[in-house]
Amino acid sequence: MILEGVKLAFIGMSIVFAFLVLLVLLVHLSTHLLRAITEKETLEEALHGGRKARGTRLDDSKLIAVVSAAVSAHRSRMQRLRKS
């Protein structure tokens, strides 16, 4: 009786684990496939949509520099995390 419960628990946990692994793989795959589209949209939004609270337009070159620095910092942090 106890052995059957252990088997059922193991099967249930295995199914959940397999689903979570599949979900993580799909998220990573979609990240790699959609990276170019996301970067293009982010850059376009930064160029055309950025405004200060007072309603004046942000300097495009400064905004591009800030966005580029943020993306670069994020990518370098992710690479360090993957290596460790």
Whole-number pLDDT of residue 36: 82
Q: What is the pLDDT of residues 36-76, one digit of tens each?
A: 888 888 877 777 765 544 455 556 788 888 999 999 999 99
Q: What is the pTM of this model?
A: 0.46
Q: Domain ranges in the chain?
A: 50-84
- Residue from 50, 47, 43, 52 nearest 70 by CA: 43
pLDDT, tens digit (0-9, with 9 covering 90-100), for 25-45: 999 999 999 888 888 888 777
The average confidence (pLDDT) of the chain is 86
User: Which residues 6+ apart lie within 8 Å of 67 measured at CB?
Assistant: 42, 43, 46
